[in-house]
Amino acid sequence: MKGLEELKLTCRTARPDGTVVEVGGVHIGGRDVVVMAGPCSVESEDQLLATARAVKQAGARILRGGAYKPRTSPYSFRGLHEEGLRLLAEARRVTGLPVVTEAMDTRHLEAVCACADMIQIGSRNMQNYTLLEEVGKLRLPVLLKRGLSATIEEFLMAAEYVASGGNEQIILCERGIRTFETATRNTLDLNAVPLLKRYTHFPVIVDPSHGTGIWWLVPHMARAAVAVGADGLLVEVHVNPQKALSDGDQSLRPEKFEQMMRDIRPFAQALGRSV
């Protein structure tokens, strides 16, 4: 791969033993495979708390949920914004689960930092260099998602932007890339996991929900992700996917999520890891 010499802080040789990122007391990049789960969007107190309790019960360690949603159409539900952040803080208080949520813009950073244990930079913003620069100044862990059409090199350069600003608490997330295939929402590039782990010391997780767009494919690709060495998973779960305001087609019901958690265990154990 070209450009590797530009990866001053991100390259594996900068920290050959790998980086473990701590998110609200949960360690990612160590022996455990850490599952982060929750709804695509925070929709209401009932929806969030019911989902948060269910994913915790099933073994998830971190709660996900979007308050600021990047939607293709401006007329789709775009999140509850500050009210969504307030509900996430409430869900953390009730369940004890640390929270990850997306900031789409530098204007959201202050509010997101006040409530979240980790800040998500979404696919569409992977090359928003102003946002990456600002996130680089924070002392909060960053979940950096691969851009929809980003190469591995571009992905690593985005991480280098954050690291060069002084924030080296970065988790990389493979979430599928755009290809000619239309049977799935995206093509989940599992090559990325061992490739990224070879080139960088940051933990690597996989989002099989956006990577497929189809709920029943999610557990299959979750097992595959664990088998190729992912340090964690990011999974969308909804108590009533048919009524979801975003990404219902790719959201697991709590009982399917529980089954997925059981099914990934032997794959983790085969690699000497636990879930």
Binding site for ligand PEP (CB under 6 A): 40, 66, 70, 122-124, 145, 175, 210
The interface mask with Mn ion, positions 82-121, x = CB under 5 A, is ----------------------------------------
**Cα–Cα distances in angstroms (integers) from residue 146 to residues 15, 92, 159, 219, in the given order:** 22, 26, 10, 21
207 binds Mn ion (CB under 5 A): no
What are the DSSP calls for 206-247, one per residue?
E-HHHHHS-GGGHHHHHHHHHHTT-SEEEEEB-SSGGG-SS-
Nearer to ligand PEP, 175 or 223 (CB): 175
Closest distance between ligand PEP and the C-beta of residue 151, in Å? 16
Nearer to ligand PEP, 178 or 243 (CB): 178
Which one of Mn ion, ligand PEP, none is in contact with 56 (Cβ closer than 5 to 8 A by kind)? none
Which one of Mn ion, ligand PEP, none is in contact with 145 (Cβ closer than 5 to 8 A by kind)? ligand PEP
Closest distance between ligand PEP and the C-beta of residue 175, in Å? 4
Work out which of 134, 207, 247, 258 binds Mn ion, going by CB under 5 A.
Answer: 247
- CA geometry: angle 65, 187, 33, nearest 5 deg: 50
Which one of Mn ion, ligand PEP, none is in contact with 265 (Cβ closer than 5 to 8 A by kind)? none
Where b means 16+ CB within 10 Å and e means fewer, 16-32 reads: eeebbbebbebebbbeb
Instruction: Give the CA count within 13 Å in the CB-facing half-sphere of 77.
Output: 16
Say how far apart CA 5 and CA 13 lie, in whole Å.
11
What phi and psi, each to the nearest 5 degrees, are found at residue 259? -65, -45
Nearer to ligand PEP, 9 or 143 (CB): 143
Region binding Mn ion by CB under 5 A among candidate stretches 15-23, 40-48, 98-106, 237-245: 40-48
Say how far apart CA 221 and CA 97 lie, in whole Å.
24
Work out which of 26, 40, 55, 192 binds Mn ion, going by CB under 5 A.
Answer: 40
Give contact residues for Mn ion (rule: CB under 5 A).
Answer: 40, 247
